[in-house]
Structure 1
Amino acid sequence: MTALLTRRATLLGAGGLAALRPAAASALRPIREQDALIAFGHTGPVTDGGWTHQHDLGVEAVRAAFPRLKTIFVESIPYSADATRIFRQFVAEGAQMVMATSNYGDFIRDVADRAPEVAFMECDGRNVSGNLGWYYITHWYASYIIGIAAGLLSKSGRLGYVASFPISSVYAGANATLLGAQSVNPNATMQVISINAWFDPQGANQAGAALVDSGCDFLCGIMDEPAYLRVAQERHVWAAMWNTDMRRFGPDAYVSSVTLDFAPYYVQQIGDRLRGTWRPDAHFLTLGHGVDRDAWGRNVPESVRMQADAARTKMLAGWSPFVGPIHDASGRMRVAPGQTMDDMALYSWDWPLRGVSGLA
């Protein structure tokens, strides 16, 4: 097992956290800060510059907010029985709260069921029990905003998407981006290549090059590193990224990024656990409060910025672009006219939008 690193926990305000279910009763007692041990289980390395790095910034915020508690973490936890062993080790070491920064399903739920005195939270999870909750980001809104820019910037109308796995977060990201592009260019399409990894620079590089070779002049995706942005820079096409600001790897090609900020949420959750007020709910971190679009790239025209940001302003006021009729790739109507996909439907999106290819 990756060595457990003991780390000490800036007080940041929490906001925009939409509870999806009533709070479950909690019998977890308060903890003195100096007696607290909080464990974090990461899906990738904290140096990935992407998803895990953003979670690690949240851990740093926790240490700053609560300097007397201790934190431990393990990087690159596999999606296997080894995950169960690592989560059990957290409990054995005395952790009163375990934060898993990816979906580990039964691997974490089985441990939570056997440790009712420990609070568990799972990013991109699906289960809520007496001591297990989940949280996620509504990234589909930021993706739609960036999609508008893609539709305006792409000369061919052909967008390329470098995906990890054919899972709901990928469907939602790809579909929302294309839907945004189609709002300004109804003929826009998207080709998806999945590389079966979240962090694989060589695979992402090859996928990006293949998409450009096939005629795509705007690349986007959901990877934890900047490989396909480098491709876009070299091949003189546009690119949008995920997780954080990556413009330094392709300053001419960079359009924006779906940016994440878990720090306020982590500070809030751990503060609740210390006070004994923590509840195992389901939460979405919303647009402007945990997820957003990054500052626009230097070559994005002002007219494009303004048109995309007009949609963002409407979203912040409560407008949703995910209103039917919406059809899937086979032409079947999936969302009826006038019907709105709520966040739970978007979170569980499992079919490709009309115009998306390569995502089954």
Structure 2
Amino acid sequence: MNFQYSFSRRRFLALSAAASSSLIMPGWVGKAGAAPLAAIKEEDAIIAFGLTGPVSDEGWNTKQNEGAKAIQAAFPKAKTLVVESIPFSADASRTFRQFVQEGAQMVFSTSNYGDFFASVVERSPEVAFLEADGRRVADNLGWYYAAHWHPTYVLGVAAGLLSKSGKLGFIASFPVPMAISSSNAFMMGARSVNPSATLQVISINSWFDPQGANQAASALIDNGCDFLFGVMNEASYLQVAEQRGVRAAMWSSDMRRYGKNAYVSSIIPDWTAFYVDQVRKRLEGTWSGGGQTLLPLGGGIDRDAWGETVPAEVAAKADAVREKIIGGWSPFTGEIKDTTGAVRVKAGETLDEVALYNWDWSVEGVSGLST
């Protein structure tokens, strides 16, 4: 299935219509009707992946590597290059340049490396580039991500029902839109069933720092939080939750074996179909830049199976919300206030997918993130 077009038509068209003013930075607008890049024989194809961490993290990078393996399985004559743990520094530019020098015709940047990536894209017009969590497009560049705020809201509902203290904790990497939208959706889901719930956020300035995540988890629990969530690429805070007798929800993979009593669920992206589809287009000569893709709930992003200690009635209530969202209902409808109490979304208004993707302010009840 081509996920670029399976996304809810109404939402995807709204996203595309708003993109020029909300998402695309000056100088990066692809030409209308730009010609696709030339076709490639499968045996000549080189597809490259730049990862933010080790493929063994059982989180984000494991899932990205699964996408690379799916490409290799679908196109066995092609060559796949995977480089792990690329730092957010000039070393990233060197790595992406090396991909081009080695003949890669398609490069996946599995995180937003900003100008470290952009400088290589601009100098390589014959190479197709795709950037996860990107904001820029060009004739040879598109971005992709997943509408993770929808399953996160569902997990927030479960958290609100399961928490005894009403104090929830969130371990964030950086105060970026991904973490802000995730923490906001989680808080809003929790408050839909527990209006007095609060969410304390600690940012550890890394996507992969087990020691930092451990320390943040312990601090949150010491402060009374009895449910942890976050966007880390490994299972450290789940292990702390298991040891301390609280619950936790995770990102990217089923990690319940690290804390079967604590584990509630996980946000699970599946990039494989999208990646295979993009490579197929590149080989066929039908791929062109400018694409902007958000994988939808139930079609590339979803919750994991519920943990064994989650009561059936909690799972049922949360899943009823999930079905409503899949059916077209949005939980991100006003009135929505920020942390100062100011109304940011008026009653009856709904945040569209562009606003959710670029969310840069925290909702009422969240503390610890810059807004």
Please give the TM-score of this superposition, normalised by the length of structure 2: 0.92
Shift of 1:112: 1.2
Secondary structure of the structure 1 residue equivalent to 2:194: coil
Residue 191 of structure 1 aligns to which amino acid in structure 2?
Q
| Equivalent residue, structure 2, for 1:311 | 321
- Distance in 2, Cα, partners of 1:26 & 1:345: 30
| Equivalent residue, structure 2, for 1:3 | none
Residue 223 of structure 2 aligns to which amino acid in structure 1?
S
Kept after mapping to 1: 8 A contact 2:36/2:288: no
Residue 308 of structure 1 aligns to which amino acid in structure 2?
A
| Equivalent residue, structure 1, for 2:69 | 60
- 2:338 paired residue among 324, 328, 331: 328
- Distance in 2, Cα, partners of 1:24 & 1:138: 27
Question: Does 2:168 match 1:173?
Answer: no
Structure (1 or 2) with the greater helix fraction: 2
Shift of 1:321: 0.2
Shift of 1:14: 3.7
- 1:264 paired residue among 255, 273, 288: 273
Residue 204 of structure 1 aligns to which amino acid in structure 2?
A
- Distance in 1, Cα, partners of 2:313 & 2:201: 28
- 1:195 paired residue among 191, 204, 229: 204
- Distance in 1, Cα, partners of 2:308 & 2:154: 17
Kept after mapping to 1: 8 A contact 2:337/2:364: yes
Q: Tell me which moved more, 208-217 or 26-35.
A: 26-35
Please give the TM-score of this superposition, normalised by the length of structure 1: 0.95
| Equivalent residue, structure 2, for 1:8 | none
Shift of 1:216: 0.5
Matched ranges for 1:106-121 at <5 A: 106-121=115-130
Shift of 1:344: 0.8
- Distance in 1, Cα, partners of 2:95 & 2:196: 48
Question: Does 2:245 match 1:233?
Answer: no
- Distance in 2, Cα, partners of 1:114 & 1:272: 22
Question: Does 2:152 match 1:157?
Answer: no
Shift of 1:132: 0.6
For residues 88-122 of structure 1, give each alpha carbon's deviation from its aligned partner in whole angstroms, at most 9, with x where no partner exists: 11111111111100001122122111111110000
| Equivalent residue, structure 1, for 2:287 | 278
- Distance in 2, Cα, partners of 1:166 & 1:90: 30
Kept after mapping to 2: 8 A contact 1:171/1:351: yes
For residues 261-316 of structure 1, give each alpha carbon's deviation from its aligned partner in whole angstroms, at most 9, with x where no partner exists: 11011000000100011122111011111110110000101110010000100111
- 1:214 paired residue among 216, 219, 223: 223
| Equivalent residue, structure 1, for 2:135 | 126
- Distance in 1, Cα, partners of 2:319 & 2:35: 41
Question: Does 2:33 match 1:32?
Answer: no
- Distance in 1, Cα, partners of 2:119 & 2:141: 10
Kept after mapping to 2: 8 A contact 1:14/1:267: no
Runs of 4+ displaced beyond 2 Å: 13-24
**Pairwise CA RMSD:** 1.2
Kept after mapping to 2: 8 A contact 1:109/1:132: no
- Distance in 2, Cα, partners of 1:294 & 1:26: 40
Kept after mapping to 1: 8 A contact 2:156/2:186: yes
Secondary structure of the structure 2 residue equivalent to 1:306: helix
For residues 155-214 of structure 1, give each alpha carbon's deviation from its aligned partner in whole angstroms, at most 9, with x where no partner exists: 111000011111100001111001000000000000111111111111111111111110
| Equivalent residue, structure 2, for 1:21 | 16
For residues 336-358 of structure 1, give each alpha carbon's deviation from its aligned partner in whole angstroms, at most 9, with x where no partner exists: 11111111101111111100111
Structure 1 residues 40, 24: closer, same or farther in 2, change over 3 A? Answer: farther
Can you give the 5+ residue segments of structure 1 that lack an aligned partner in the other structure?
A: 1-12
- Distance in 1, Cα, partners of 2:155 & 2:206: 23
| Equivalent residue, structure 1, for 2:297 | 287
Identity of aligned residues (%): 58
- Distance in 1, Cα, partners of 2:75 & 2:189: 41
Residue 180 of structure 2 aligns to which amino acid in structure 1?
Y
Residue 51 of structure 1 aligns to which amino acid in structure 2?
W
Secondary structure of the structure 2 residue equivalent to 1:259: strand
- Distance in 1, Cα, partners of 2:121 & 2:208: 28
Shift of 1:86: 1.1
- Distance in 2, Cα, partners of 1:349 & 1:314: 22
Residue 44 of structure 1 aligns to which amino acid in structure 2?
G
- Distance in 1, Cα, partners of 2:99 & 2:16: 27
Residue 294 of structure 1 aligns to which amino acid in structure 2?
D
